[in-house]
Structure 1
Amino acid sequence: MTTLFFSGPALASDKAGTIPTLLESLRLEQKLFFCGEAVPLDDPEVRESMEKELMLSLWDRDQAVLWLKRSTRYLPVIEALLSEAGLPDDLKYIALAESALRPHVGSPKGAIGFWQFLPETGRRYGLTINESIDQRRNLTASTRAAMAYFAKLYEKFGSWSLAAAAYNMGEEGLQAEILVQDVSNFYRLYLPQETQRYLFRVLSAKLILTQPERYGFHLQEGDYYPPTRFATVELICPGETSLTVVAKAAQTDFKRIKELNPELRGHYLAAGTHTLAVPENTPLGFQERFNKIHQEWSQQRQKRIYIVQSGDNLSTIAEKFGVPLAAVLIWNRIDINRTLHPGDRLVIYPVESRTVRP
């Protein structure tokens, strides 16, 4: 069992509490770079675009404060992985622009997680995405996938700004615009509005996180969210089990297991071998405790089988046993619209039961 601890960077302790005017904030007096590539702020159109996105980010001060507070929880992990892969540190700001460092955030198009991968793209870069696991929500796995994707995009386009644009709009779409417009400079390409704004939104995040006091964010050390502390365990699961069983084996609760393993979907863990995060103070002997509790849980499920009778439906069955309909759906992993037939078998835990439940 390996304990991991991620420590954050030196934190700001400026107590001045002053907030500069928007005009003061927009005066970009120093050169600006993205992944070592200079941003041509001497171009009036580029400066206007940069100022616009910076202004919008500063206007949403609540969001900017959350960027800063979450940064010490998640960015050290991303920074370490980027450094290990030899990739530019600035790529971490893309995760901020994409998800505000929220593992469960999704888009109308189906993108999910820290790096907002679509399912097909995530699978292409090695992420497991199915009904029980979605690694787009796992910080380490999704960051490794994003790094592989960025490395490929940079190899194809030869520019990190173009790689970022391709990440946003798709590599084929960007390649088509480059060919049609006969331009290979991000700042001179006419692209969809979202993509034209994208890099400047990323750069806004960089400016705020690298110079928080400059923009009126005077956070003290205690204002930042602490890094996540956890241990990792290898779990051999002989059959599908409830995450409540896993939580009891880790001597914690369901909520903590879900928070430490955001890639786990629903209430159950599939059969197989899993690497899981558990509280850092989890005692040794996790597998042995799990085996015992899982066996008890399996035996109890067999004793809680209800045979569907003629005239039954999910609502009447829930009412008969005095349990919420939603609990019946979770225990049996079924949809509320499922048609029941006499003889079907359902797992039901009556209210008076005080045993291990799924």
Structure 2
Amino acid sequence: MIIGFLFYQSKEEKFQVPVNDGGGATLRPGEARSKPRVKIFDLPEKPVFAGEKVPIEQPDVFERFEREVYVNAYWESNALLMLKRSGKYFPFIEKTLEENGIPDDFKYVAIIESGLLNVTSPAGAKGFWQFMKGTAGDFGLEVNRYVDERYHFEKATIAACKYIRAAYGKFGNWTSVAASYNLGMAGIARRKNQQLSPDYYNLYLNEETSRYIFRILAIKEIFENQAKYGFELQKEDLYSLPPLREIEVTESIDNLASWAVAHKSNYKEVKIYNPWLINTKLNVRKGGKYVIKLPM
């Protein structure tokens, strides 16, 4: 760190010591300080999740919500990339949620689960919606040595909707449904029974599940009030999918690279637009069918 630097200007001027303003800029006497970079944000007075009230008047609820807003608002690079990726994936998610009678706020679950990336968790959950292998099969996703549909964005989104509808049938409350996406239906039900409380906000939970709804709320707040948090993206700034053609596959493919070339594409494009293909070949059972997408 540079503490200070003395320099001589002229016989008439005294030595001056530049001052660091804390933001990396060096100021000399008489120069104005820049405005502080860190801003205090006002939280919404009546936040809701999926139409359900968030009791922000409770001090711990306010602090938990505020924590997640600042964590995400000041992790600018991550928030910016999630905003940009939403252009590629939110249209399908929003449409599928609506078709299944699920509140639009659940699209933010995909954001906090994966950042809209096909990631793998330390526990082995995979894809945008972070399904474990066993749970994936329960909700109609195929997982084998050739195919892992947890990485199939559209099919995994439909599977997530099946889970959400099933959880709502159990709890009748969207906030509990969202919390169960982290802790499981049995986990949330057990905590409610043990603590004699039906309300997520009054449950004592592990740190991850305790933060879960507030992370969703924070992402929702930033996405719906982008300028307030310093993000000024236009529609053309968002990522988008190129026009894609769909090719039905009813027979096994011995070599996906050769197959791609035969369809005027390449292996890289096969993997980019079909990450659910996890082998260099594809086995198709008798009577089965897959759809592979490639750029037009």
TM-score range, shorter chain: 0.7 to 0.9
Aligned to 2:202: 188
Aligned-residue offset at 1:131? 1.1
Aligned to 2:281: 268
Distance in 2 separating the partners of 1:174 and 1:228: 40
Distance in 1 separating the partners of 2:259 and 2:101: 37
- Verify: 1:22 aligned to 2:36, yes or no: no
Asked whether the equivalents of residues 127 and 135 of structure 1 are also in contact (C-alpha less than 8 Å), the reply is: yes
Superposed, 1:306-317 pairs within 5 Å as: none
Give the alignment's TM-score, normalised by structure 2.
Answer: 0.84
Distance in 2 separating the partners of 1:161 and 1:206: 14
Asked whether the equivalents of residues 241 and 271 of structure 1 are also in contact (C-alpha less than 8 Å), the reply is: no
Superposed, 1:291-306 pairs within 5 Å as: none
**Residue among 71, 92, 98 paired with 1:83:** 98
Asked whether the equivalents of residues 113 and 130 of structure 2 are also in contact (C-alpha less than 8 Å), the reply is: yes
Give the alignment's TM-score, normalised by structure 1.
Answer: 0.70
Asked whether the equivalents of residues 87 and 238 of structure 2 are also in contact (C-alpha less than 8 Å), the reply is: yes
Give the counterpart letter for 2:270 in structure 1.
I
Distance in 1 separating the partners of 2:90 and 2:48: 19
Aligned-residue offset at 1:20? 7.6
Equivalent residue of 1:269, what SS? Answer: coil
In the alignment, structure 2 segments of 5+ residues that lack a partner are 1-34
Distance in 2 separating the partners of 1:224 and 1:47: 31
Aligned-residue offset at 1:280? 4.4
Give the counterpart letter for 1:218 in structure 2.
E
Equivalent residue of 2:70, what SS? Answer: helix
Distance in 1 separating the partners of 2:47 and 2:263: 47
Aligned to 2:244: 230
CA offsets per residue over residues 137-169 of structure 1, 9 Å max, x none?
111100111001011111111111111111101
**Residue among 120, 145, 149 paired with 2:134:** 120
CA offsets per residue over residues 187-208 of structure 1, 9 Å max, x none?
0001111000011011111111
**Residue among 54, 71, 74 paired with 2:69:** 54
Distance in 2 separating the partners of 1:167 and 1:257: 31
In the alignment, structure 1 segments of 5+ residues that lack a partner are 1-17, 282-358
- Verify: 1:142 aligned to 2:159, yes or no: no
Asked whether the equivalents of residues 243 and 269 of structure 1 are also in contact (C-alpha less than 8 Å), the reply is: yes
CA offsets per residue over residues 281-318 of structure 1, 9 Å max, x none?
2xxxxxxxxxxxxxxxxxxxxxxxxxxxxxxxxxxxxx
**Residue among 112, 115, 122 paired with 1:100:** 115
- Verify: 1:217 aligned to 2:231, yes or no: yes
Superposed, 1:285-296 pairs within 5 Å as: none
Give the counterpart letter for 2:80 in structure 1.
V
**Residue among 154, 167, 170 paired with 1:156:** 170
Asked whether the equivalents of residues 19 and 215 of structure 1 are also in contact (C-alpha less than 8 Å), the reply is: no
Distance in 1 separating the partners of 2:91 and 2:180: 25
- Verify: 1:68 aligned to 2:83, yes or no: yes
Equivalent residue of 2:289, what SS? Answer: strand
Asked whether the equivalents of residues 114 and 142 of structure 1 are also in contact (C-alpha less than 8 Å), the reply is: yes
Aligned length: 260
Equivalent residue of 1:110, what SS? Answer: coil
Distance in 2 separating the partners of 1:259 and 1:172: 36
Asked whether the equivalents of residues 242 and 268 of structure 1 are also in contact (C-alpha less than 8 Å), the reply is: yes
Distance in 2 separating the partners of 1:241 and 1:274: 15
Asked whether the equivalents of residues 247 and 292 of structure 2 are also in contact (C-alpha less than 8 Å), the reply is: yes
